Amino acid sequence: MIRRIALVHIYSCSAALLEISFMEEWINGLILIMLSIGHAELWVTFINRTHALPVHEPLLKKTRHVTYFMILAFPLFLFVMVGLYSPGVLRGGEWSQLSFWWKPVFLLCTLGFLGLLVSVFRHLFYRIPRLQTESQSEIINVRERLGQTLIGNGPYHYLAGLPLNEIFSVEFSRKTFVLDRLPTAWDGLKVLHLSDLHFSGTLTRDYFCELCRIAQESKPDLIIFSGDLVDEMHCLDWLDETLGQLQAPLGRYFILGNHDWNQLSEQIRMSLTRLGWIDVSSQTLRLEHAGHSMLLAGTEVPWMGQHPVLPSQLGGESADFLLLISHTPDNYYWACSQGYDLVLAGHTHGGQVRLPLIGPVFAPSVHGTRYTSGTFYRKSTLMHVSRGVSGIHPLRWLCRPEFSLLTLRSGE
């Protein structure tokens, strides 16, 4: 009888030990996965920051290839060298037995993982500023509307046909902003904000013609284009039938973006100017309307020109309302320091691909994914970041293309 009890005891102890060892392996495996994710986040951070700098596309393309390789190769290396190689932590080994050189690597990966958590929390807890009082959306399926495939032979055209791609499902967003300094006489001013058209031949001319036609039907008072017009110079011919068709009583104003900088930017600038669009890059322009003045300014920093200098800083007269067009949202803090009332930006495309819960991952910004799209308010400056109409990569997952009609209301 005693012998039998002892056997049962030994059996239950070894089962418990086996269970602990099994649990340890699971936990160790989980730690290795978290370290791999943290490592990927470090490379994403690197790629986001390098794409925010004035670096030409061929070099950026190489950095992207290195990044993709490292993101895929590191987990394999980690699991083989740390997890499986005898006596790896997945085979009953101890973390303390690992070489000293793994410690700084693990520390960096842990920091990367924590950084990702911060981004995810920021995405989940993003709140629209109270100054945006209304928001409506209309989803326009351009493909169904026109009954065409709308895919040309441009770069990366194979991406356009991927399942669940939302590239042809455009969101026409209508937002209302209440702005303290907007003169009462301008209450209800309608501003059409277009950004990132990226003419490349991948999406056909008809796609952009249709969007411009819809945008014009909203009868804006003022039209703003915040950069990235052309990725292939032969598409410059499309301007007449697209942006050339837009009209607004208070004018059409533009700046260029980093993709235009990679092309013949001066030729693009001249073509738009010839169609009556007004270039506000690196300068300020006074717009008089209903007895009040608006200062319209533009910046293509860090790719071209310099930040505009306000007339008041040169001893000149200020204006009732200051509007800045900036290709990248990275100029937001500078705009706040200058006292701009409204900033209209694009460039980040909303991240283009958004993961459920996690949100956007890639965004060419020094702030990472913080300002990928939406409305932001800081000090006394409101910024609207458009997700843009297109991109050199015709891929949108959980991140529809966008153009916006912004109604400005006076807070007085």
Q: Which residues make up the interface to Fe ion (CB under 5 A)?
A: 196, 228
Closer to Fe ion by Cβ: residue 189 or 272: 272
Provide, rounded to whole angstroms, the least separation between the CB of residue 267 and Fe ion: 18
Closer to Fe ion by Cβ: residue 113 or 371: 371
What's the CA gap between 7 and 328, in Å, rounded? 72
Closer to Fe ion by Cβ: residue 123 or 259: 259
Provide, rounded to whole angstroms, the least separation between the CB of residue 124 and Fe ion: 26
Phi, psi of 196 (to 5 degrees): 50, 65
Are 188 and 220 a contacting pair, CB within 8 Å?
Answer: no
Closer to Fe ion by Cβ: residue 228 or 341: 228
Tokens 């902003």, residue?
177
Helix (H, G, I), strand (E, B) or coil at 371: coil
Closer to Fe ion by Cβ: residue 98 or 264: 264
Provide, rounded to whole angstroms, the least separation between the CB of residue 55 and Fe ion: 15
- CA 40 to each of CA 2, 52, 182: distance values in angstroms, whole numbers, following the listed order: 57, 19, 45
Provide, rounded to whole angstroms, the least separation between the CB of residue 300 and Fe ion: 12
Pairing of strands 222-226, 252-255: parallel
**With 0-12 CB in 10 A as exposed, 13-18 as middle and 19+ as buried, what is 153?**
exposed
Provide, rounded to whole angstroms, the least separation between the CB of residue 222 and Fe ion: 22
Are 387 and 349 a contacting pair, CB within 8 Å?
Answer: yes
Partners of 175 in the beta sheet? 135, 406
Provide, rounded to whole angstroms, the least separation between the CB of residue 364 and Fe ion: 8
Provide, rounded to whole angstroms, the least separation between the CB of residue 328 and Fe ion: 9
9 contacts: CB under 8 Å, gap ≥ 6: none
User: Hey, what amino acid is at 63?
Assistant: T
Which tokens go with 181?
């300094």
Q: Which residue is nearest to Fe ion (CB)?
A: 228
Closer to Fe ion by Cβ: residue 64 or 181: 64
Which tokens go with 361?
């991952």
19 contacts: CB under 8 Å, gap ≥ 6: none
Provide, rounded to whole angstroms, the least separation between the CB of residue 259 and Fe ion: 6
What's the CA gap between 306 and 337, in Å, rounded? 16
What's the CA gap between 293 and 402, in Å, rounded? 29
Provide, rounded to whole angstroms, the least separation between the CB of residue 351 and Fe ion: 12
Closer to Fe ion by Cβ: residue 372 or 407: 372
Closer to Fe ion by Cβ: residue 196 or 402: 196
77 contacts: CB under 8 Å, gap ≥ 6: none
Q: Closest by alpha carbon to 366, among 47, 69, 62, 140?
A: 47
Closer to Fe ion by Cβ: residue 196 or 330: 196
